Structure 1
Amino acid sequence: MTVLAFHLDRVLGLNRSLPAVLRTFHSDLLPYKYTSGSLRPVVWWDPDIQHLADDDNDQKSFSLTWPQYQTLLKTRCGIQMPLNSSACVGVHHSEWGRLALFDFLLQVHDRLDRYCCGFHPDPADLCVENLLNVQCSNPQHLMLVHILVRRADPSRLVFIDNAGRPRHPQDDLNFRLLEGIDEFPARALQVLRSGCLEQLLLHSLSADKALWESRGGAAGLRTTIHNLQHRANALLQHIRGKSGEQE
């Protein structure tokens, strides 16, 4: 799913995910589990990604709680408030719409909802095993993670760990990921509304021969892509509903 997420990112014109391919490793320097013949995702490493100095809390470029994030969305940084304002973290307002759309389509919960507050988690989910979900009633304790930027371009987010949940139940989609978002990238919405998502994704995925052949080509990928399209339809319906409320 990590590799598919990269292709989805490019097809939608988001261009925020690090490049990823599926490959087989052959090296005596690697542990056997990496050289056993199984295909594994290879993600391009970007040394310019900014991490916090705290070794126990370095998987993000800055700290944000859920209430702080919601306040940030209302501030509309880069539009109504300068990016260097104390009320902002330097990220342009439009970036959050890109992230929310991407995470909703893939049902990536780890960034915006690692506590699983917006859906019914499986007992085997880490948020249940680690008792994170019991904190949902205390929003001030809910932290965002994997929110990253590059040092050279801190106004734009970088998407990592994009595996998502391809088998997440369609009747329990996590709409919390969309909470507070008032705009989504126009090009991405155009693709989702066009009905061409499947065609565009299949064309893009076919460029990764290892992935294409391992998944059985178009026939083997269609179920996953149809799930994405179902989520896209749910997203578009959500947007129409919000537009109706504003009218």
Structure 2
Amino acid sequence: LQHHSTVHHSTFLSPQAQRPWRRTALKPPAPGAAGALLALALLALIHLPPAPHHSLLPASSPPREVAVPLSGGQASRRRLPVLPTHLQQEQAPGRSRRRRGLERDAPPWLSADDLQKMWLLSSGQVVSKTRVPAHGQILRVRLRAEGDAEGDVLAASPEGDCQDGRCGLIKRPGDLYEVLAFHLDRVLGLNRSLPAVARRFASRLLPYSYTDGAPRPIIWWDPDLQHLEDANNDQNSCALGWLQYQEMLQPHGPMLAARDAPCSSIPPSEWSRLALFDFLLQVLDRLDRYCCGFQPDPSEPCVEEMLHEKCRNPAELVLVHILVRRSAPSRLVFIDNAGRPQHPEEKLNFRLLQGIDSFPAAAVATLRSGRLQSLLLRSLRLDRQLWESQGGAAGLRALLRTIDRRAQILLQHIRQHNLTVFEDSP
């Protein structure tokens, strides 16, 4: 081999290639030495490692093999699956970095079901819309969740749609308080409100006023809610007047309300949860849409619509937005929870608490803990659109102080009237 290489090297060494040796006054190498050098160079090239592969993806290790015993005691060799790379994990169906962050940072009072619905509301693609009768500024939209096939989401129609739970109600920008109400409900352990998030919409299916950059609340549409067939009273699961309601709060109340099956199935503890929640938010629409519990300003809707005049005759007063699920008729569902964040303290509506003699122990303990504001901040931080639109913690402080102040007033009311607390059922 060495001789063969020497012959070829000396044969192809041209006179021009030999001239540098003459210019440097060095003798040209002997033919045998040159051949040896060439052979060594060829051997070195053969044993060089392959050039590295410049890939944007991290290299994955080759599949390992393990022996898997067969039923007959023999062993066959089976390849173990290779773990997906970081990029493949990012692109896994139904998962994303943002969603994993949502689940990782979620406080314990938000359930897995809450998080799933919040993710649908905040990131689902709008595929259709429909107007809600008698609610001109509210749209019901159908959403395509991440990972849904295009054929899995059918176009919305006025009736019969949204039964799979993939719909939401888009409300006015001024109703963003409903998002805070949802988090308050979960922080207090009431778990009666429907999931809600703030969102900026950009879908071409929506009117321009919905895509102007202002965040709007979108609330999960619950297909299981029970509505009365009366078109003029379809925002109730049962027709209930104020006097009937007060009778139901008495120990013998449910017996007197036997004629109204849906409402009679609601125990007093549910009304206690509702009263506590509505007082903190000053939601009047359910229990006192007539503003009978305070002196309203002339600009109040209850005055402009001449509802306040009916306070003289309690028999004419009715409750609205009293809803339950068909699958759980003894459990209230709280809707339209925007309330009154700017309602003055001197006009707090204590009529919302009338007839209530006990409150849920877990919620009262949270109010007494002094941590209500910090717990709400931790929960609200999860809703990035709301958080940024309100200026973060600094922008939310005044609102949270108002709720905390109402909580202290409620605790004082409980002490002054020697009211009790009850343990929540599991």
What range describes the TM-score normalised by the shorter chain of this pair?
A: over 0.9
CA distance in 2, matches of 1:83, 1:139: 18
Secondary structure, in 3 states, of the residue corresponding to 1:184? strand
Of the candidates 177, 180, 184, which is equivalent to residue 8 of structure 1?
184
The match for 2:281 among 97, 102, 106 is 106
Partner of 1:222: 397
Name the Cα RMSD after superposition.
Answer: 1.6
TM-score, normalised via structure 1 length: 0.94
Pair 1:144-2:319 in alignment: yes
Q: What is the alpha-carbon distance in structure 2 between the residues aligned to residue 119 and residue 34 of structure 1?
A: 35
- Corresponding residue of 1:25: 201
TM-score (norm 2): 0.55
Contact 1:76–1:93 under 8 Å retained in 2: no
Query: Cα distance, 1:125 vs. partner?
Result: 1.5
Contact 1:84–1:90 (Cα < 8 Å) also in 2: no
Mapping 1:1-247, distance limit 5 Å: 1-75=177-251, 85-86=258-259, 89-243=264-418
CA shift for structure 1 position 122 = 2.2
Q: Which has the higher strand share?
A: 2
Q: CA–CA distance in 2 between the matches of 1:107 and 1:124?
A: 17
Show structure 2 runs of 5+ residues with no match: 1-176, 420-426
Q: Give how far 1:75 is off.
A: 3.5
Cα 1:82/1:153, change in 2 over 3 Å:
farther
For residues 311 and 387 of structure 2, what CA distance do their matches in structure 1 show?
40
Identity %: 63
Partners in 2 of 1:183 and 1:85 — Cα distance? 23
Q: Which amino acid aligns with 1:192?
A: L
Match of residue 155 from structure 2 = none
Task: Tell me: higher relative CO, structure 1 or 2? Use CA pairs within 8 A at least 6 residues apart.
Answer: 1
Larger radius of gyration: 2
Please give the alpha-carbon distance, in whole angstroms, between the structure 2 residues aligned to 1:193 and 1:76: 31
Shift of 1:83: 11
* Matching residue's letter, 2:409: A
Distance in 2 (CA, whole Å) between partners of 1:239 and 1:227 is: 19
- Taking the aligned partners of 1:213 and 1:130, their CA distance within structure 2 comes to 36
> Would the alpha carbon gap of residues 70 and 202 (structure 1) be closer, same or farther in structure 2, given more than 3 Å must change?
same
SS of residue in 1 equivalent to 2:359: coil
- Deviation per residue, 1:41-63 (Å, 9 max, x gap): 00000011011000011111001
Whether the aligned pair in 2 keeps the contact of 1:22 and 1:210 (CA below 8 Å) is: yes
Structure 2 distance, partners of 1:66, 1:200, is 34
SS at match of 1:5: helix
Inter-partner Cα distance in structure 2 for 1:171 and 1:7: 26
User: Which amino acid letter does the alignment assign opposite residue 97 of structure 1?
Assistant: S
After TM superposition, give the deviation of residue 84 of structure 1 in Å.
Answer: 9.1
Q: Aligned partners of 1:68, 1:39: CA distance in 2, in Å?
A: 40
Structure 1: gaps (5+ residues) = none
